[in-house]
Amino acid sequence: MFFVYVLYSSKFERYYVGFTKDIARRLKEHNTGKTTSTKPFVPWKLIRKESFETLAEARKREKYLKSAAGRRWRKLHIRPRGATE
């Protein structure tokens, strides 16, 4: 099982999209600064996860969520917890 996840840094109002087999381990890596691209924006909160049977499916969804169309979809469908917009 593979997961595509969306993280949110409320301190910096930034999103991050990724995929993994182990969500808890990956979130810990992001929040302890082991991921170069997310290190400056700690702390991160998991705001969405989707599960997929294959790596190819997860990779395709991650790629979509990182595209311009995926960013528009995220704006319409995903809000960080506590957001009032």
Is the pLDDT confidence value at 84 over 50?
Answer: no
pLDDT digits (tens, 9 = 90+) for 32-75: 999 999 999 999 999 999 999 999 999 999 999 999 999 999 98
pTM: 0.89
- The most distant pair of C-alpha atoms in the chain lies apart, rounded to whole Å, by 35
CA distances from 38 to 42, 55, 57, 59, 73 (A): 7, 22, 24, 19, 22
Q: What structural domains and CATH numbers belong to the chain?
A: 2-77 (3.40.1440.10)
Angle at 20 between CA 19 and CA 21, to 5 degrees: 145
**Tokens 């969405």 belong to which residue?**
48
Where is average pLDDT lowest: 13-17, 23-27, 44-48, 75-79?
A: 75-79
Is the pLDDT confidence value at 85 over 60?
Answer: no
